[in-house]
Amino acid sequence: MNRGEHEPFQQIFENLESLADKISEVLTCPVTIEDANHRLLAYSSHEPGIDPARMATIVGRRVPEKVINSLWQEGVIPRLLESDDPIRISPINDVGLGNRIAISIRNNEEILGYIWLLEIDKHLDQEAFEQLKRAAKAAKTKLLQFQVHKQKEEQGHQEFFWQLLTGYMKSNTSIKDKAEKLHIKLPECYQVLVFRFDQKIDDNLYKQIQYILTTLQRIRIISHVTDRSRLVLLISSSDDPTFKESLTEFMMVFTTQMEERFQSFPIESACGSLMKGDYSKVEKSYQEALTVLRLKRKFPIELQHTYHYHDMGFYLYLPWLYEKKKGENMGNPHLQALRRYDQENGTHLYHTLEIFLSLDCNVKETAEKLHVHINTLNYRLKRIEEISRVHLKSMDQKVSLYLDMKAEKYEE
């Protein structure tokens, strides 16, 4: 037997496809090679009878999300992240996954990708496992070259996205021309999403983010960039009313999977308005998302389940209201009277009024929230009217008080 038969992977392969074919030839199993984010890079030929998971991966050019989720739930991906050796995977019938052997392709501690073998009519032995380890080393060089190419492409996309976010490019025609040169397909409708983490996004966290963004296949991401602790996404959107729900679900699932899989997660997320056609308005959608984040930091309880710019309601006007009152020294005399009375008498009438208004003037709910008897609450409300000289049955006065309270809280 010649050296090539003993060491079939110690040769120069023209591309990953030829390597996948060689692995399949040596180990007599269908093979797929994926990048670190489960995008299909190459696959070998196969006979009829392969399982649905392999077929869906080949057709979609990436592993289906439901398959990835199952592999995490079964502990397969964590084992691949930790081990240099091949691992055997039992069938997961719910997602159409048959018997598998998988090995990670590594560059020191960095995961570059994976090789997957489908066991159909044979059971691979230890010698086959050793051959697979040699194949993974052969794949490393090719994946490093692929990684450099992808990084250069990504840098060009990110530079283009920053030009849109900062309003550097004003002409929609020039924007579309540049996108075409970069091979970026711009959809008719788009939005900007922003996630804020409680730490600076370093290289390790960025790789984790890329993994989740790639494997979550619920929306199309056109481009993304990071800015200190923020992740900014440009996504393909739709004016279909159901898409808004899908987008909210995406933000929630992204946060959940970051936490469950990597113990890192964004503490806030926000979305700017849907824009149509004109990509010179990317900056506007971005600034709207940042406005939502600022307001969520000011009002974390009130806005904890609010993500979209046009769902912010009157909160959008609080910065303007605050600046207006600050510039003209326009404090609310009714609220000032309540604050003075509380300070002088050790009472909490201001807080009582705030809770009462926030609960839509519902006496029963307010009493329960404050842990007081309804009679006690009614007495406090009467004192509030006497001290502040307001009428709590007047909608105009209640709205004015509520907005001024929120503006004061915005200032704090």
The per-residue pLDDT for 122 is 79
- The 10s digit of each residue's pLDDT in 197-232 is 999 999 999 999 999 999 998 899 999 999 999 999
50 confidence band (pLDDT: 50, 70, 90): confident
Q: Domains of the chain: which residue ranges? A: 3-149, 166-311, 320-411
Domain 3-149 has CATH 3.30.450.40: yes
Question: Quick one: 320-411 is in which CATH superfamily?
Answer: PucR C-terminal helix-turn-helix domain (1.10.10.2840)
The answer to whether 176 and 254 have CB atoms below 8 angstroms apart is no
Query: What pLDDT sits at residue 78?
Result: 95
Q: How far apart are CA 83 and CA 321, in angstroms?
A: 58
With bands split at pLDDT 50, 70 and 90, how would you rate the model's confidence at 323?
A: confident
How many CB atoms are located within 10 Å of the residue 93 CB? 10
Is it the case that residue 305 has pLDDT exceeding 60? yes
Q: What count of Cα atoms within 13 Å lies in the side-chain half-sphere of residue 316?
A: 12
Residue 249 CB partners (closer than 8 Å, separation 6+) = 218
∠ CA 215-218-222, nearest 5°, is: 80
Nearest-10 Cα torsion for 320, 324, 325, 327: 130
Extended strands (E) in 170-311: 189-196, 221-227, 230-236, 268-271, 275-276
4 pLDDT more than 70: no
pLDDT of 309? 96
| Calpha distance 121→142 (Å, rounded) | 30
Check whether 2 has a pLDDT greater than 50. no
pLDDT bucket at 3, cuts 50 / 70 / 90: very low
Residue 113 bridge partners (DSSP): 35, 105
Q: Give the pLDDT confidence score for residue 408 in this predicted structure.
A: 85
Architecture of the domain defined by 166-311: 2-Layer Sandwich (3.30)
Whether 6 shows a pLDDT value over 70: the answer reads no
What's the burial of 104, exposed, middle or buried (CB within 10 Å: 0-12/13-18/19+)?
Answer: buried
pLDDT on residue 1: 38
